[in-house]
Chains A and B, each alone.
Chain A
């Protein structure tokens, strides 16, 4: 039996959605930047500080043990959510950017040498480019990029060619583009990458909130995502890594919590996974609240969310394609959660400002994807991005506001 998708009840779970901006109901279509939080997540943070607050791991006292238990449960919740084999393969970080920097620094400085190659793609977020540029610059490795097809999907022939050129140690690629909404075929990519003896890091920032992710099924080596795009709090990220890879990597940062023994004379031995990569007091309430966010998503069902959002995106796309002034990017590709467009030659800033004044929140600019913008030949785009609580009626408001914007700017 499939449950009906009760959008009215779901919207009531998000207190911020009743907000008015400029005396108009808020239509929040900036979910690719961050999603709003359900009451269950807000409650989790309040409850933590009201009833549980205590530092984890090292306490003998009751509160500390309860906090540690809640913290460990959150880790297990994440593990099961992406189907990792072990809970200790889930590293809590301060964000997806921090997760990628952990791998680029810890794995990169250990494994990359002069002449080695790291591949990224033309559709990457700066967070999945700059850390690799930094480690390549420092080690003498070379950063190359996978090109796109005319329809803006990933050019797999380009991947094949780059792999065939040799020395590729790691491929870092986005699961779903934050600009185009295109989801890359990771199952296909991973087989090519592994056949070549290389590792695959997948940037999942725009994916697990929209569809099921199974890191074991996909055989991904490293998977990163952030809590705040998944209805959880900011300042929390996840690094998933295969146990053998994480075990072979040195710590990223030193400090409390990540050691086994410390001696000024004999040096330090490190803690086992996952603590080796979690120096310092973690974002305890944030990590616990991520667990609450995942539980919330699962209470609706990720497949139900995917189906519902798919209908939203298809409807929004159909509406946009009826407006001759709108240039929609990747119009033929299947999209998850994100639509990017421009309005003739108008500046995205103008379009975004006028939509905002009509109560519609979108994001404009380069979306931290300047190489992709250069490829598209634009300074920026307008991006509407959707979440499980958006409605067809909101898309109608958005399209109406867009028509008004068109008439004002032309």
Chain B
């Protein structure tokens, strides 16, 4: 599945919900089901600090295919992180680096990607793309 196809799948998934609380219930469930990050990566070296919640992110590249693992201390942030990983994992570094990632906007969660928000998500997306960019050149 391409990045774009996964994004469409998520947009369809969120269209099923009538209200905000249902959407957030789903995000919380996604957060709870995100595979644990390896403990060795849950350290200062891998931290992306938001003002309030923070994210730990680790990435590997094999044959130009990226794998991210991540965690957050806030469950809603972790759910949003899970969505990002679902979209970007197993894609080529080049595709990750250039993905427009419009799904967050389309499912009504733009506020979480605003630079003034406190949850570290925007910084995480930047970090993911930066990592992909540095590996897509190789």
> Chain A: residues with CB nearer than 8 A to chain B?
22, 346-350, 353-354, 357-358, 364-365, 379-380, 404, 408-409
**Once the chains bind, are B24 and A365 in contact (CB under 8 Å)?**
no
Q: Which residues of A contact B118 (CB under 8 A)?
A: 349, 365
Task: Tell me the B13-42 residues at the A interface (CB within 8 Å).
Answer: 20-21, 24-25, 28
Query: From residue B117, how far is it (CB to closest CB) to chain A in Å?
Result: 10
Query: From residue A206, how far is it (CB to closest CB) to chain B in Å?
Result: 21
Size category of the B interface is 10 to 19
> Chain B: residues with CB nearer than 8 A to chain A?
20-21, 24-25, 28, 51-53, 73-77, 118-119
Give the top 9 A-B pairs by smallest Cβ distance, nearest first: A347-B74, A357-B20, A349-B74, A349-B52, A349-B53, A365-B52, A350-B76, A350-B74, A350-B75
Q: Which residues of A contact B51 (CB under 8 A)?
A: 365
Contacts A350-B28, A358-B21, A365-B51 supplied; 14 other A-B pairs, CB < 8 Å: A347-B52, A347-B75, A347-B77, A348-B52, A349-B52, A349-B53, A350-B74, A350-B75, A353-B76, A354-B21, A354-B24, A357-B24, A365-B118, A408-B21
B120 — nearest CB in chain A belongs to which residue?
A: A349
**Once the chains bind, are B20 and A22 in contact (CB under 8 Å)?**
yes
Q: Which residues of A contact B25 (CB under 8 A)?
A: 408
- Tell me the complex Cα distance, A193–B77, Å: 47
B72 — nearest CB in chain A belongs to which residue?
A: A347
**Once the chains bind, are B28 and A409 in contact (CB under 8 Å)?**
yes
**Once the chains bind, are A409 and B20 in contact (CB under 8 Å)?**
no
**Once the chains bind, are B53 and A347 in contact (CB under 8 Å)?**
yes
Q: Which residues of A contact B28 (CB under 8 A)?
A: 350, 408-409
Q: Which residues of B contact A350 (CB under 8 A)?
A: 28, 74-76
Q: Which residues of B contact A349 (CB under 8 A)?
A: 52-53, 74, 76-77, 118-119
Q: Which residues of B contact A22 (CB under 8 A)?
A: 20
**Once the chains bind, are B73 and A379 in contact (CB under 8 Å)?**
yes
**Once the chains bind, are B20 and A408 in contact (CB under 8 Å)?**
no
* 7 A-B pairs (CB sep. < 8 Å): A347-B77, A348-B52, A349-B74, A354-B76, A404-B21, A408-B24, A408-B28
A354 — nearest CB in chain B belongs to which residue?
A: B24
A353 — nearest CB in chain B belongs to which residue?
A: B76
- Tell me the complex Cα distance, A404–B51, Å: 25
- Tell me the complex Cα distance, A379–B77, Å: 15
- Tell me the complex Cα distance, A192–B31, Å: 53
Interface centre among A22, A358, A404, A408 (most CB of B within 10 A): A408
Q: Which residues of B contact A357 (CB under 8 A)?
A: 20-21, 24
Query: From residue A122, how far is it (CB to closest CB) to chain B in Å?
Result: 21
B75 — nearest CB in chain A belongs to which residue?
A: A350
